[in-house]
Amino acid sequence: MNAGVLLAAGAVAFLLSTVTIVPLRRLALRWDLTDRPGGNKAHACPTPYLGGLAIAVATVVPTAAVIGLSDHRITAILLTATAVAMLGLIDDIGSLSMLIRLTVETAAAIGVVLSGVRITMTDSWLDGLVTVAWIVVMTNSFNLLDNMDGALGAVTTVTATLLAVTAFVYAQPVLGLLLSMLAYSGLGFLLHNWPPARIFMGDSGSLFIGFVLTCSAILLVMGTRLDTTVAGLLLPTFVATVDTGVVFLSRMLAGRSPLAGGTDHVSHRLRRIGLGPQMVATALGLITAIAGALCLAMALRWIPPLPTAIVTVGSALVLIGLLQGVDVYSPAQRQKALPRIRERLR
């Protein structure tokens, strides 16, 4: 792909994201589409949604303008990701049930699988089921990661950038273009979302981002060995995977619903140990950069895939365990959870 075309498309994506956020913010304030503080919320004043709409538009429009319908798999990802973004937008405007959300997300994931994007582990119909499940789980994991100013914006920009380079290394320029546009869009959004945030991406952005990044990672590891597949799927989603693991384990031990909102995510735990909002976003970005660099190094064959996969899985498990030691629950919540924890440990 011509470097000039890539840079021009990237400039369009960055400007679209940066500029369209301004009227979208005004629109959100006028229609009272805001996230109000209180409860489990970390922000102090009402903050408008709709930033994710700018990310989706700024990613899809330049990509579609350059590639058209030349790659049916990328076209399928663009169409289904747009549908997921619209699902998130509707949820931002008026809350949807979990059943409706999961149904639409599953349908979108099936659409991607039918286009030929799938995790190749068994060369059987099980691959399709595993792919759909992975896409749905990770899409929602990225959605849950959007819980603090700048956190998901930083993770998105870094992940998309390094995955784009990896795609070009794997001679997949069309996928590299899509990921580059997401990186530029994420950077444009981050200018408005860096702490203290002036706008949030909402579900329209977090679901779109999770869906695109997960599908892109799958496309990069298709047809590779099991160790390459495991490392190639976990490294780009490392922060989201660890965050989901931390929340799931701590809530199961505390007898709380894994699906409920809470201030027990990785970002909240980093705040508990003394990091400010900007440092939290920076820390998550750095962890993402390390994971993405390992993925790129594996693609360049600088490091072997099997040890990389083992280290990745081991690191995730260690972090999930260590972060359980950061106390995020109130004394009343801890007291209520103790009998349940003892019961589970018997």
| pLDDT in the model for residue 248 | 94
Domain ranges of the chain: 3-345
68-122 pLDDT, tens digit per residue, is 888 999 999 999 999 999 999 999 998 899 999 999 999 999 999 999 999 999 8
The count of other CB atoms within 10 Å of the CB of residue 69 is 9
203 marked ligand binding residue? yes
The residue behind tokens 């950038």 is 161
| pLDDT in the model for residue 69 | 82
Tokens standing for 238?
């490392």
The secondary structure of the chain, three-state, reads CCHHHHHHHHHHHHHHHHHHHHHHHHHHHHCCCEECCCCCCCCCCCEECCHHHHHHHHHHHHHHHHHCCCCHHHHHHHHHHHHHHHHHHHHHHCCCCHHHHHHHHHHHHHHHHHCCCCCCCCCCHHHHHHHHHHHHHHHHHHHHHCCCCCHHHHHHHHHHHHHHHHHHHCCCHHHHHHHHHHHHHHHHHHHHHCCCCCCCCHHHHHHHHHHHHHHHHHHHHCCCCHHHHHHHHHCCCHHHHHHHHHHHHHHHHHCCCCCCCCCCCHHHHHHHCCCCHHHHHHHHHHHHHHHHHHHHHHHCCCCCHHHHHHHHHHHHHHHHHHHCCCCCCCHHHHHHHHHHHHHHHC
How far apart are the C-alpha atoms of 346 and 50, rounded to whole Å?
47
pTM of the model: 0.94
Tokens standing for 183?
């990186």
The count of other CB atoms within 10 Å of the CB of residue 123 is 7
For residue 45, what pLDDT band results from cuts at 50, 70 and 90? confident
Tokens standing for 240?
């989201």
Q: Alpha-carbon Rg of the chain, whole angstroms?
A: 19
Is residue 258 predicted with pLDDT exceeding 80? Answer: no
Query: Cis before residue 196, ω within 30 degrees of 0?
Result: yes
Lowest mean pLDDT among 17-21, 42-46, 126-130, 197-201: 42-46
Phi and psi angles of residue 47, each rounded to the nearest 5 degrees, phi first = -125, 130
Phi and psi angles of residue 195, each rounded to the nearest 5 degrees, phi first = -55, 135
186-237 pLDDT, tens digit per residue, is 999 999 999 999 999 999 999 999 999 999 999 999 999 999 999 999 999 9
Instruction: Note the residue count of the chain.
Output: 346
